[in-house]
Structure 1
């Protein structure tokens, strides 16, 4: 029953998230104007009144707004997302074609963000001597700057330096080209790395003052061994819990980054659909992103159970690991 409750609670959250996202997007798009423009071919369409009436009736736009909203929710519940108004193709096909490129970008960006955060925090925590203490202060400043750096500005600077200036990396990115992935991945990763680093450093400093850290030092363990085998494992938990948020931030940042680097992906698809008031396309893409976000949050919850055995007293034993205390 504990397993059922654990799974049921997360399914309920997933349904709530999808409903909220679909509702906000539906009414926001309708508030910007009539989607009939996208159906008839965009701005400047010369469709007559009879053709306009037929299109409005065919797409159900002549019905009350509440009825259209409920119909949209039913299509989402049955995974019948319909066809794009502007592209005349099934929404699921369009999303499936663009999703892999965005997932690759988000995955490598999150991986790089974690690597930068962990390395930076370990260096800062180890900078205790007088000779290396300025390095720790410098890295702390870099953390704060990275956290507040706008991605569109950072991406533009990277293009000017590495593409236009030095010519070592391409300014555009297409598909899975390794060279083309470097600048978009770095652009997305640096702000997330700064935020994760701040959380990790605070948790690591707290773990360094914990009783178990004192015990490990008393046994003669070096500071590096203490951090790598004990305190870092403890400090990772708060940042790991924020990885779901980080993934959502990466997907939203992909809208800017994919446009800036002329990269195909879900971000550009969403932006184009929003500009065209393509309601089925935008709602379908956003629902898929919401489901991915929920899936990542569930994975991070499960990883927390593996890393910290103390949490298994409050959660069902979905995943088993050796019952070793975090600081032991």
Structure 2
């Protein structure tokens, strides 16, 4: 466990360093973009003072060590665009993105389970074949294209979901579907493969010989034994969902990290962008650790590896 924690810290340090380097090589200057193009009437000397205030005039190695020290103390810097601490911006925008990602993962899980059950227990062969061939098609759908198509069909053509002044839950329907459909593909593929493997095991044949029905076998044998790999994939996909949510929020004009990232990119707000990158890496690392801890609880054969 200590080794895994050490690896997690190295991943976070690597993400922070890579984000810092890539953001520093971007053309332009965040302070100049923010203040020179405004009507504040600032003189070059005043802008130079602002560069000193924001630390933009220091050598890169000093900026790196200063930023790293602040991050370790929980100080993520100040947004050049908004003039407020980055932690405040994250606290205001992160909850809506987490809600969107959580709902999308839940819907994706239900959709994947439905496809897996149809692939094994559908009464018609063509329906079983369709259930098996659907996940690759879902995985190939670009998120931004799918979002636009869902808006066109369900909002403009059918008028089922309003895109003009929707309610707090109505505005989540299409974004959740946009994220859930592609994410359900890998979950469904794992479930179908695991079901094929488990149903070929001798203990399943014994259960069927004793009179167990297909539904009972699926619930008590397939789902239980397929849970560990599906859980591991779901943990990784949730981190991916946060990244996908940024694009989806931009397509649907939602708030959250998507809008915050858009504004930060447009203004080269380095502190905000770096915080978002490190936050995403931290989510991936935390979910990986949680999955590692949860898997032995579901599969006793892995408990020795937890020590």
CA RMSD, Structure 1 to Structure 2 (Å) = 2.0
In the other structure, the counterpart of 2:136 is 144
1:56 has 2:43 as partner: no
* 1:72 Cα offset (Å): 1.1
SS of the equivalent of 2:81 reads coil
* Contact persistence 1:172–1:180 (CA under 8 A): no
* 1:41 Cα offset (Å): 5.9
Q: How does 1:166-185 map to 2 (within 5 A)?
A: 166-171=158-163, 177-185=168-176
Distance 1:95 1:233, change over 3 A: same
* Contact persistence 2:293–2:306 (CA under 8 A): no
* Contact persistence 1:39–1:55 (CA under 8 A): no
Q: Which has the higher helix share?
A: 2
* 1:90 Cα offset (Å): 0.8
The gaps in structure 1 that reach 5 residues or longer are: 1-5, 317-328
Which deviates further from its counterpart, 288-297 or 185-194?
288-297
Which of these residues, 111, 120, 141, is aligned with residue 116 of structure 1?
A: 111
* 1:143 Cα offset (Å): 1.1
In the other structure, the counterpart of 1:15 is 9
CA distance in 1, matches of 2:179, 2:237: 10
SS of the equivalent of 2:74 reads coil
* Contact persistence 2:35–2:42 (CA under 8 A): yes
CA distance in 2, matches of 1:138, 1:94: 45
Which of these residues, 72, 75, 79, is aligned with residue 80 of structure 1?
A: 75
CA distance in 2, matches of 1:46, 1:29: 28
TM-score, L = length of structure 1: 0.87
Which deviates further from its counterpart, 239-248 or 287-296?
287-296
Q: How does 1:276-291 map to 2 (within 5 A)?
A: 276-291=267-282
1:244 has 2:239 as partner: no
Which of these residues, 159, 170, 184, is aligned with residue 193 of structure 1?
A: 184
SS of the equivalent of 2:58 reads coil
TM-score, L = length of structure 2: 0.93
